[in-house]
Structure formats: structure tokens, C-alpha cells
Amino acid sequence: MKLLAPSKLSRAKKTPRPQNLFILYRRNLSKGLCKINPKSVGKSSQVASLLWKSISEREREFWRQLSIIAKEKHNTIYSDYKYEPNKKKKR
């Protein structure tokens, strides 16, 4: 799995956020689900959420370590990155 592969719909101007452990898990799982049933793309997050709640702590630790590696790679590539959430517009 490529840890920092940008999504096909990524915004070209904005630096992507580092992927957390659930995002890495869901991304890996959805690749398998799409191979089985290409029409299941919309349901992949729901399925991943249910499966995520049932995985063991050992498996969760694997994804935690993978997210740490992904974050380190992200910091190397995007050294000037700083999380800046969108400000809500006042009405």
C-alpha cells in the first residue's frame, strides 16, 4: 500500500492532511471490497466502520504504527504543512 498516494480527486492547490490509522485501514479495505464488488464504493466506509469497531487491539496497533510512519513521511514531503481548518462564514 502506498502511504502517501494522493486520491484521484485531490485538490491540487491544497496540501493533503496526514492519514490517520482509520483512514489507512479504510483505504486498504475499500480496495479489496471494490475488487469483489465494484458497485460497493459508497458502502465501503460503512463496512469499514463496522469492521473497525470489531478488530483486535493488536491489529489496531499495527494500523497505529503505520499511521506514525505515514505521518513521518508526510512531514518529510510537506515540511511546511500546518493544519488550518476552514473558517466558518458568518451569516
Ramachandran region, residue 16 (left: φ > 0; alpha: ψ -120 to 50; beta: rest): beta
Residues 78 and 15: beta-carbon distance below 8 Å: yes
Q: Give the distance from CA 62 to its chain's centroid.
A: 15
Which pLDDT value is given to residue 46? Answer: 85
Quote the cell numbers at residue 54: 470489531
Tell me the residue type at 48.
A
Domain ranges of the chain: 21-77
Listed ranges 3-7, 41-45, 67-71; the one with the highest mean pLDDT: 67-71
Q: Which of 88, 85, 69 is nearest to 18 (CA)?
A: 69
Write the pLDDT tens digit of every residue in 21-44: 999 999 988 887 777 777 776 778
